[in-house]
Amino acid sequence: MTSTAKLSTQPQDPAYAIALTQFNAIADKLGLDDGLREWLSLPQRELTTHFPVRMDDGSLKVFKGYRVQHSLARGPAKGGIRYHPRVNLEEVRALAMWMAWKCAVVDLPFGGAKGGVACNPKEMSMAELERMTRRFASEISIFIGPENDIPAPDVNTNAQVMAWIMDTYSMHKGYSVLGVVTGKPLAIGGSQGRDEATGRGTAIIASEVMRRQGGSIDGATVAIQGFGNAGTHAARILSDMGARVIAATDSQGGRYNPRGLNVKRAIAAKRETGQLGNYRDGDAISNDELLEMPCDILIPAALENQITGSNAPRVKAKVIVEAANGPTTPEADEMLNENGVTVVPDILANAGGVIVSYFEWIQGRQHYFWDLAEVQAKLERIMKNAYDEVVAMATTPKVSLREAALMLGVGRVTESIKLRGVYP
């Protein structure tokens, strides 16, 4: 029996189909019984909300939003909120499931959650974004809180969005609640190093992979698909480590220079103009071309389903470090493995963000804040320890790093469930 058989319909969203496929394969390897398999394949709680927002022209627009908690077995749910036109319930279910495994892989006392609003924030004013965010925060306030579910930034959300959510929640409570979200501005309880955390964690893992393979990050060639928060920080930090970032793209395309891009100028161009293509060093390149170019390290840092069965045979990178969630399909995974490409899975490679979110949650609850050096040192230690555990899991029996990470994550969630028992 597989968990998908218990769903009323087969998954329509590719991300959710991938998440369930991955889970079922690992459930087989772990020998999970039918009851646990079904339980862990489904969200524990999910909320869909339709809510009105007054737009700048005076019209009323109804938005659709979601918050899904996959598991609370290991602690409060943790996961980002994204604003994107393609946000849907099944995608959010997949992301919540991956968050549950991710938190367990790096051994944080959190369950997995995710949320989002189907919208195009690039077509909205700041005032409209604020009104939408505050109303959405009100709608999901029955789910979130520092003891039960802590949102964070994700695609097209940032520290300002988290500040609005924190303030809205606090207004309902009548006092400031620093721990209700993470990824906040420093002035209202944010953590040093949170903005760069996903990119830094990705860079740490990339460096560790090169070291274990007998090479060095110094001089390694890197291509980065996606030049948002994770991609830009990964590019900057890898460049500081001595790597040569030869190509980077955003949703509109990007630039390639075999001698290496000037990362600081590329980031400045992206921030000033909104498009990496406006950085005029090197040759224009598309997202598809970037994924297939020769390089030591490929970092997909955009959206799901970027490396598929169609393009995987043409991937020439030696190592893929997944800064995005679900960028590689199961079919592509098999092809890459057969071709000798090392793939470090998302639930390990991009865990830096949730690790420093955990630090921020702790600091906010204690009202005692750490300096940047302490945050970075603790992040590096946890990332390296988690990588070592995944590599060790991959050796006996011989499995891929993705399978090993999922076995570690799903195994830890399963252990928590068994220890807690079934209520009543």
Strand partners, 63: 51
Intra-chain end-to-end CA distance of the chain, in Å: 26
Which of 114, 184, 270, 318 is catalytic? The answer is 114
Q: What angle do CA 349, 341, 381 make, to 5 degrees?
A: 25
**Residue 246 parent element (H or E):** strand 244-250
- Pairing assessment for the beta strands 283-285 and 297-300 based on DSSP bridges: unpaired
DSSP letter string over 308-340?
-TTTGGG---SEEE--SSS-B-HHHHHHHHHTT
SS3 189: coil
Verify whether residue 316 is a known catalytic residue.
Answer: no
Encoded amino acid at 299, one letter: I
CA distances to 203, 205, 352, 414 from 383, in Å:
10, 7, 7, 22
Nearest to 332 by CA among 242, 251, 402, 410: 402
Q: Do 102 and 78 touch, CB atoms closer than 8 A?
A: no
Measured CA to CA, the distance from residue 150 to residue 194 in angstroms comes to 15
Encoded amino acid at 352, one letter: G
Nearest to 404 by CA among 20, 98, 30: 30
Preceding peptide of 121 cis, ω within 30°: no
Strand partners, 328: 307
**Residue 46 parent element (H or E):** strand 45-54
Give alpha helix (H) positions in 62-216.
Answer: 89-105, 126-140, 159-173, 197-212
Measured CA to CA, the distance from residue 69 to residue 179 in angstroms comes to 18
| Torsion sign over Cα 280, 283, 288, 292 | negative
List all residues 6 or more positions away from 323 whose beta carbon is below 8 Å from its beta carbon. 198, 199, 202, 224, 226, 230, 231, 234, 299, 300, 301, 346, 349, 350
The residues annotated as belonging to the active site are 114
